[in-house]
Structure 1
């Protein structure tokens, strides 16, 4: 069987990078392309998001196939699928894809597209997955071998060129990301908010780079002057530390850690403000989802993504990273402040699955990458 595009994904239990890849695959299938997903671990909630038109190839055969032992299975799957284009995401997947396509004959080798979904200069030391941190050490030698490396922001594109040896002409800013499954019309016309005026919502993996420790400190400051509640949606290794901090700050009646949720919209539709306290980002998908609900956003000016999404503050307020006092002031100022929901929604509509799929195909076309 021959595919136009194969996506290499670490796991269906993964986070933003894997979800983006699944939605982009769906978008390409919706545009009539033959698409398959090669996945090392096919168990997880993201599997239910895969479009029926997308072929799933479970390389672990029901088990979790570790990245370190995946090379033979990936090479075999590529030989079977014979894709015109192989797309990988996140550092470990990118390195694996380069290794799997090395030394293939020109007739069998697909054109290789890597998606850099993080801020690599920060992630190479702080990524929560050790395989990604190790992969970034190899990236300066392997990333340049790809036909195209896609970045989500211009600063990341510059990092790829300056620090990871990617040729200028092969490093491209995609300009969109597959975040929202709704159409632009649905986003602009949705009227199903039920706002609680004192509710803050934050969404993300409970890990150091998301800055939830700073957010908790900021909420403690806000609470001194205004009634406020905070719901944090997400799961991760920092949960015990955050629970201890909540207790220390006396926030047990103020803050809820509700864990991973398939549909954060259950909480976003009730929120007065969406808050992001990240120390660094690949883009900031949760910010986009909040804008789609018409929510006012307060975010750190983290590298990279929030400033680009919020258009230098036009669609939300930016504050310095690791500054709970500034974050608290911005939250307090935005509680009850009128804002233009349509501006938020119009910006979010730039990040639909359809837009991302079209931008992806355009990037391939500009590089002279075609299908069979």
Structure 2
């Protein structure tokens, strides 16, 4: 019989701050789930500010760096040093490093004497054509340098796992579907013809393309709601006004929880030029809403392979966006429970347990080599 794995009683999470990011949202969702399971969670932040600050779960110990570590050049290295100093004085069993953005903090954590198990997450593609071969080579070198002393790496899909293990030169990656969904949220039948989109209002997200595609819909009942805030908001508002669409397109601003907007929607659209994982696709399917998405993220391969769940269109193809939206609005709304069932593996309960298992195995391996 294999020996029992060590228990995990405490976990630290390091975040730079609380921006509008899917990585940070998932980290806070995991923190809540771990607390519900009796784990002591400490969230160490460079600055205690940002729009997701209200999502910090009750029961978490929130520790801002003193002095604060604002975002600037090389600030993640400073954040790593501050976090390492804190966890040396206040030990935890493991530290979770959420997403590629935070990888720079791993080397400092790995230097803690009798250190915690350090688990890093992959949140965006590891191999990207736009980097070019020289940029890709530099990225892989950096990844090996930053993560070589991590105890484990978590990928969101099989492709990321294979790429990570290849880059690192050893099998150190575990695949865990993105824990983007609550355990118990009923999927409600859809009605009306409201299209929902959400994200930071920046060029990457393609909201300009979506507005142009929506302008070509010959359906006076269709409505578009765009949830999010960002620097492109004035330009998008001008674009809407120039097309006389103010009565059909709503810029809803930042919305901390999309649940009510998804309940009112018939269809979710992601028109991004490029994405990390695109957790919002999983969230939309979990609410029982079909998705039209550009081929900008690995999520389309993971969850949109079934044509009953949605449609994948080429990046920056306004005509394809329009055609796909028309097709979904013209057909009966699909069974929301069937769509939600497709992403059951992305529920927070199973995800939180899977992450804890990675920490347990990392601690066991550390004890074996001690």
TM-score, normalised with respect to structure 2: 0.84
Q: 1:168 to 1:336 in 2, by over 3 A?
A: farther
Q: 1:248 to 1:360 in 2, by over 3 A?
A: same
Within the candidate set 333, 340, 359, 1:345 is matched to 340
In structure 2, distance between residues paired with 1:148 and 1:346: 29
In structure 1, distance between residues paired with 2:91 and 2:303: 36
- The residue that corresponds to 1:329 in the other structure is 323
Query: What stretches of structure 1 of length at least 5 have no aligned partner?
Result: 126-133
Query: What stretches of structure 2 of length at least 5 have no aligned partner?
Result: 1-7, 132-137
- The residue that corresponds to 1:91 in the other structure is 100
Does residue 199 of structure 2 align to residue 204 of structure 1?
yes
Map 1:1-372 → 2, pairs under 5 A = 4-60=10-66, 65-66=70-71, 67-68=75-76, 69-96=78-105, 98-105=106-113, 107=114, 109-122=115-128, 138-162=142-166, 165-174=167-176, 176-181=177-182, 183=183, 186-187=184-185, 189=186, 191=188, 195=191, 197-222=192-217, 224=218, 227-338=221-332, 339-365=334-360, 369=364
Q: Name segments (4+ residues, structure 1) moved above 4 Å.
A: 122-125, 134-137, 365-372
SS at match of 1:156: helix
Cα displacement string for residues 203-223 of structure 1 (whole angstroms, at most 9, x for unaligned residues): 11112322222212211222x
Q: Aligned Cα RMSD in Å?
A: 2.9
Query: Contact between 2:117 and 2:363, CA under 8 Å: does it hold in 1?
Result: no
Q: 1:200 to 1:369 in 2, by over 3 A?
A: farther
In structure 1, distance between residues paired with 2:219 and 2:260: 27
In structure 2, distance between residues paired with 1:367 and 1:311: 33
Q: Following TM superposition, by how much is the alpha carbon of 1:323 offset from its aligned partner in structure 2, in angstroms?
A: 1.2
In structure 2, distance between residues paired with 1:365 and 1:124: 37
Q: Following TM superposition, by how much is the alpha carbon of 1:230 offset from its aligned partner in structure 2, in angstroms?
A: 0.7
In structure 2, distance between residues paired with 1:355 and 1:38: 25
How many pairs are equivalent? 349
SS at match of 1:269: helix
TM-score, normalised with respect to structure 1: 0.83
In structure 2, distance between residues paired with 1:226 and 1:140: 53
